[in-house]
Amino acid sequence: MPHDRVAKTIGELRALTDKPFNVNFFCHARPKVDAEREERWQGRLSPYYDELGVDRHSASRLDLPPFDDATCTVVEKARPAVVSFHFGLPEPALLARVKAAGCRVMSSATTVAEAIWLEAHGVDVVIAQGYEAGGHRATFLATDFNEAVSSQSGGLALIPQVVDAVRVPVVAAGAIADGRGIAAAFALGAAGVQIGTAYLLCPEAATPPLHRDALGHARPDTTVLTNVLTGRPARVHTNRFVREAGPMSDAVSDFPLPLGVLTPLRAKAEDRGSGAFSPLYAGQGSSLTKEQPAESLTRRLVQEAERRFQQLAS
Ligand SMILES: Cc1cc2nc3c(=O)[nH]c(=O)nc-3n(C[C@H](O)[C@H](O)[C@H](O)COP(=O)(O)O)c2cc1C
């Protein structure tokens, strides 16, 4: 979000609750200007523009600002209890300002090296994001993000090794969708869990109908890691574009430029009831997801986990 929308959204949330909350930001590097590469990727998409009757020039160059001075100022004023980052951390001066504002800082690691780096750079909590997780890989230390996909560990391997490597608490993420997953993460040494996909079917979630439909038909093998939707590897429900252009491609332009190029195609396809060009982020636990209000889902997850712990202890 641009910084003014961050401020507005935090204000709206504050009006709804006096409980602590977590705001989350991406810390990506701005895309390199490489007109030739961008042109080539747009060319790759031309047949789809022709097929859907979309004007190729209707796509705008999408440039999402990373966490910057203006957003940091919003955070300093709002002082949310927790600020989490994806794709590493902002530059040290910005991070120091967030910490000086009294916010607890969390960030995701996909390797032990990233977890150690995050601790050394001052995070209060490391999130261990396993291969199974929905959405973007948090990967930030690898020189080749595409290559890092093939070596990324699943949670069963990653969580205990991260727990052994750092002193700060570790939150486990990836395909945790019921009490069994929560109990397993704690058994591996996690101090908490981060759950994404399991909340996508909640009536409170802004998940669009096409995305809900994909989740409703999910199996353990319906998600895939792809970089062709956004320029960085992310786990999504596979669709026509991911299958045909990817799932991984060396030709894709830098994050987040591919998102902008896809937007008109996605809009046209969605108008026709198709998610063929939409990023339907979801983890490998998708088929465990059930439609349930967020509060009762949260209570169920806690009860199931507690039952599991009692069974394991007896
Ligand atoms: C729809 C969706 C959107 C996500 N967006 C973000 C995001 O904006 N920032 C972030 O740090 N992680 C994001 N994630 C990743 C989650 O933080 C977390 O790693 C993941 O949801 C855990 O795996 P699970 O989805 O299998 O539960 C997203 C995940 C999903 C499914």
pLDDT digits (tens, 9 = 90+) for 190-234: 999 999 999 999 999 999 999 999 999 998 899 999 999 999 999
pLDDT level of residue 165 (50, 70, 90 thresholds): very high
Pocket test for ligand 1, best of 123, 125, 194, 212 (most atoms within 8 A of CB): 194
Q: Which atom of ligand 1 is nearest to the CA of 84?
A: 11
Mean pLDDT of the chain: 95
| Residue 250 or residue 60, greater confidence | 250
Q: Is the pLDDT of residue 89 over 90?
A: yes
Q: Is the pLDDT of residue 64 over 90?
A: no
Ligand 1 center from residue 76 Cα (angstroms): 24
Alpha-carbon gap, residue 131 to 295, rounded angstroms: 27
Q: What is the pLDDT of residue 66?
A: 87
Ligand 1 center from residue 313 Cα (angstroms): 31
Q: Partners of 109 in the beta sheet?
A: 128
| Residue 32 or residue 83, greater confidence | 83
Q: What is the pLDDT of residue 124?
A: 98
- In degrees rounded to 5, what are phi and psi of residue 17? -150, 145
pTM of the model: 0.96
251-309 pLDDT, tens digit each? 999 999 999 999 999 999 999 999 999 999 999 999 999 999 999 999 999 999 999 99
The percent of residues above 90 in pLDDT, for the chain, comes to: 90
Alpha-carbon gap, residue 139 to 129, rounded angstroms: 9
Q: What is the mean pLDDT of residues 237-264?
A: 95
User: Does the CB atom of residue 176 touch ligand 1 within 6 A?
Assistant: yes
110-121 pLDDT, tens digit each? 999 999 999 999
Q: What is the pLDDT of residue 285?
A: 96
Using CB atoms within 10 Å of the CB of residue 106, give its burial: 0 to 12 exposed, 13 to 18 middle, 19+ buried: buried
123-162 pLDDT, tens digit each? 999 999 999 999 999 999 998 888 899 999 999 999 999 9
Task: Give the count of beta carbons closer than 10 Å to the beta carbon of residue 299.
Answer: 12
User: Does the CB atom of residue 28 touch ligand 1 within 6 A?
Assistant: no
Angle between helices 179-187 and 155-165 (to 10 degrees): 40
User: Does the CB atom of residue 133 touch ligand 1 within 6 A?
Assistant: yes
Q: Which atom of ligand 1 is nearest to the CA of 174?
A: 23
Ligand 1 center from residue 86 Cα (angstroms): 10
Q: What is the pLDDT of residue 220?
A: 84
